[in-house]
């Protein structure tokens, strides 16, 4: 019986180490000497700046009847309002009706909107422009329901982004989340790696998600040995004890 107790205690210890604990998957943990979580510096938020191959959609609003007639043949006309999408060329410009190429690369959405409004008002005094980035998406691959998702608000953070996927799976490695972010001028993409369990991620350079980001969630190396929750753990304990008891009883009958 003493040997049985020792075996059961050893089995319980092994199985307990196979559970997903808050230390492993919990968010917003306070960095301590025990958990050794990293401490990230806070940085100011930088708005997204338009890049080559981005697409913008704009709406030109005017009451000018001549312009309305000219644009109406090729655009969806709703009370003098026009919606069009255009790609940013390698030289950083977009080509719009009635205008010379307008350079918008490197501008924020608000700055690009002001630039287009000023350009149109040179020929249409009452022109107003509403502009937005058309390709406002990020992608997720790995252990977090891989797909492409729309950025529905400014300053979307990593928690909001991953919540759209249904959160990182328990098997996902929260210690080494990676964001692959394109850079201008044909440079290699920037790869940002961080531990999203620490509360210092808030307002750090890893906190916000931008258009064209790819979020990669690797699988933990020890995920094969883990159980998803304590109900699974209890079930595994029960079945293991039952199997061990059966084997010991069988052995006892043989040598009786």
What whole-number distance in Å separates Cα of residue 254 and Cα of residue 256? Answer: 6
- At residue 97, the pLDDT reads 82
pLDDT digits (tens, 9 = 90+) for 189-235: 999 999 999 999 999 999 999 999 999 999 987 644 455 555 555 55
- At residue 73, the pLDDT reads 43
Asked if 20 and 228 touch (Cβ cutoff 8 Å), the reply is yes
- pLDDT above 90 coverage of the chain, percent: 55
Model confidence, pTM: 0.75
What value does the mean pLDDT of the chain take? Answer: 82
Helix, strand, coil % over all residues of the chain, rounded to 5 = 30, 20, 45
CA-to-CA separations, 137 to 125, 142, 151, 208, in angstroms, rounded: 34, 17, 6, 13
Confidence of residue 5 (pLDDT cuts 50, 70, 90): low
Running DSSP on this structure, what letter comes out for residue 88?
A: P
Confidence of residue 19 (pLDDT cuts 50, 70, 90): low
Q: At what angle do helices 2-16 and 230-254 cross, to 10 degrees?
A: 150
Between 13 and 200, the higher pLDDT residue: 200
Min mean pLDDT across 31-40, 69-78, 134-143, 204-213 is at: 69-78
**Residue 244 scores a pLDDT above 60:** yes
Confidence of residue 236 (pLDDT cuts 50, 70, 90): low
- At residue 25, the pLDDT reads 85
**Residue 74 scores a pLDDT above 50:** no
DSSP H/E element including 174: none
């Amino acid at each position: 019986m003493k040997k049985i107790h020792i075996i059961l205690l050893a089995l319980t210890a092994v199985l307990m180490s196979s559970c997903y604990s808050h230390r492993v998957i919990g968010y917003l943990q306070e960095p301590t000497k025990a958990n050794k979580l990293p401490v990230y510096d806070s940085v100011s938020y930088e708005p997204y700046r338009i890049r080559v191959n981005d697409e913008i959609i704009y709406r030109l609003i005017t009451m000018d009847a001549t312009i309305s007639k000219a644009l109406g043949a090729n655009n969806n006309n709703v009370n003098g309002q026009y919606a069009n999408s255009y790609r940013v060329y390698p030289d950083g410009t977009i080509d719009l009706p009635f205008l010379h190429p307008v350079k918008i690369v490197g501008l924020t959405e608000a700055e690009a909107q002001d630039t287009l409004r000023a350009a149109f008002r040179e020929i249409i005094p009452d022109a107003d422009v509403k502009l937005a980035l058309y390709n406002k998406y990020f992608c997720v691959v790995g252990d977090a329901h891989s797909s492409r998702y729309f950025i529905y608000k400014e300053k979307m953070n990593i928690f909001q982004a991953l919540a759209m996927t249904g959160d990182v799976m328990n098997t996902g490695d929260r210690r080494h989340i990676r964001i692959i972010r394109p850079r201008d001028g044909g440079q290699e993409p920037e790869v940002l790696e961080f531990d999203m369990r620490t509360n210092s991620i808030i307002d750090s350079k890893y906190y916000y998600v931008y258009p064209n980001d790819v979020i990669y969630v690797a699988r933990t190396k020890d995920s094969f040995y883990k159980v998803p929750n304590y109900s699974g753990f209890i079930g595994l304990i029960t079945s293991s004890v039952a199997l061990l008891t059966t084997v010991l009883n069988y052995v006892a009958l043989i040598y009786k």
